């Protein structure tokens, strides 16, 4: 058995507990541990499907998903605005313009490996679009979503979804 040292950091947001040299509590089959990542088995793309009363629309133009902690499941989708995702932008506009009479929809997010194998699926039900904004990312300390010099600025858009349920499948 190894000794355990625990460091507790108290900040404005909450308490974080870090365990250093923790005792091995769980038995791990070390033959199943992935020793490294490569392009074949790691996430390469995000595929989004929205189902509403009008049918189904799908997109693969998103670069980032942000899972939010709130009273209901919520998430962000971030992308570079392009002509390829005009249908999504129309969907966002229609959703935001409904005011106090929202129409609910379901969102499925598939995280795909290079060969198209689904690594994980996130299923959000009874969703609405809470907000949408566009910003200029001109920070030199962030990675470019486009394949270019990170010193150049990028215009990005973010859509925030609020839902009633989240289920995941691995």
Give the alpha-carbon dihedral of 122, 123, 124, 126, to 10 degrees. Answer: 170
- Of 11-20, 25-34, 117-126, 148-157, the poorest mean pLDDT is in 11-20
Put simply, whether the predicted model's pTM sits higher than 0.75 gets the answer no
Q: How many CA atoms lie within 13 A of 119 on its CB side?
A: 14
DSSP class of residue 164? Answer: S
Task: Give per-residue pLDDT as tens, 131-168.
Answer: 999 988 765 545 444 445 555 678 889 999 999 999 99
Q: Tell me if 75 sits within 8 A of 106, measured CB to CB.
A: no
Higher pLDDT, 5 or 79: 79
Question: What pLDDT is attached to residue 140?
Answer: 54
Checking if the pLDDT of 90 tops 50, the result is yes
What is the dotted CATH code of the domain comprising 40-169?
2.30.110
Domain range list for the chain: 40-169
pLDDT band at 6 (very low <50, low <70, confident <90, very high): very low
3-state secondary structure 16-42: EEEEECCCCCCCCCHHHCCCCCCCCCC
**What region does 137 belong to: left with phi over 0, alpha with psi -120 to 50, or beta?**
beta
Tokens of 96: 């935001």
Q: Tell me if 122 sits within 8 A of 106, measured CB to CB.
A: no
Average pLDDT over residues 10-37: 47
Give the DSSP H/E element, type plus range, for residue 120.
Answer: strand 118-137
């Amino acid at each position: 058995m190894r000794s355990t040292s625990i460091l507790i950091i108290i900040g404005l947001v909450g308490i974080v507990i870090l365990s250093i040299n923790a005792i091995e509590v769980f038995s791990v089959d070390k033959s199943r541990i992935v020793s490294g990542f490569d392009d074949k088995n790691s996430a390469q793309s995000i595929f989004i499907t929205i189902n509403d009363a009008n049918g189904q629309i799908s997109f693969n133009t998103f670069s980032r998903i942000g899972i939010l902690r709130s009273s209901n499941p919520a998430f962000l989708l971030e992308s570079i605005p392009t002509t390829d995702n005009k249908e999504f932008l129309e969907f966002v506009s229609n959703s935001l313009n409904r005011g106090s009479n929202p129409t609910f929809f379901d969102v499925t997010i598939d995280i795909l490996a290079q060969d198209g194998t689904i690594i994980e699926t996130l299923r959000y039900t009874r969703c609405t679009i809470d907000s949408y904004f566009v910003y200029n990312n001109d920070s030199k300390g962030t990675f470019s979503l486009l394949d270019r010099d990170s010193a150049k600025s990028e215009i990005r858009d973010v859509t925030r979804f609020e839902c009633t349920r989240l289920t995941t499948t691995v």
